[in-house]
Amino acid sequence: MAENDFSNGISAKVLDTVDLVVATVNDKAVRPAVVAARAIVFGVIIALVASLILIVASVGFIRLLNSYATDHHVWIAYLALGALFGLGGAVLYSKRGTTPSP
């Protein structure tokens, strides 16, 4: 009877150790990998949707200006859209960070 209690105690201790090792590996390796994979996937999805929205808005802006505002002079619509993107680029360029010196 005492031998059975001893082997049950060892079995429980080994199972607890295995459970602790598996939980530690999960916390240290698997969970950060899952979080990184989710960030990459959601980042790609957001970038694709933002690109699609920007393209559709640009085409709509050109068609709107070409049809209603500029009497079918498409160069004015291109100039306005180029100025808008140039202004946006200038604002983003002014907000850039400085590079660290080596």
List the structure tokens of 63.
Answer: 């068609």
Q: Which pLDDT score is estimated for 4?
A: 62
Q: Which pLDDT score is estimated for 93?
A: 92
List the structure tokens of 49.
Answer: 């949707």
d(CA 94, CA 87): 11
Determine which of 26-30, 56-60, 88-92 has the lowest per-residue pLDDT on average: 26-30
List the structure tokens of 48.
Answer: 């694709």
DSSP state for residue 41 in the 8-state scheme? H
Query: Over the Cα atoms of the chain, what is R_g?
Result: 30
Q: What average pLDDT is seen over the chain? A: 86
Predicted confidence (pLDDT) at residue 23 exceeds the cutoff of 60: yes
The answer to whether residues 77 and 66 touch, using CB atoms and an 8 Å cutoff, is yes
Q: Which pLDDT score is estimated for 3?
A: 57
Q: What helix, strand, coil percent values describe the chain, rounded to 5?
A: 85, 0, 15
More confident residue, 3 or 90: 90
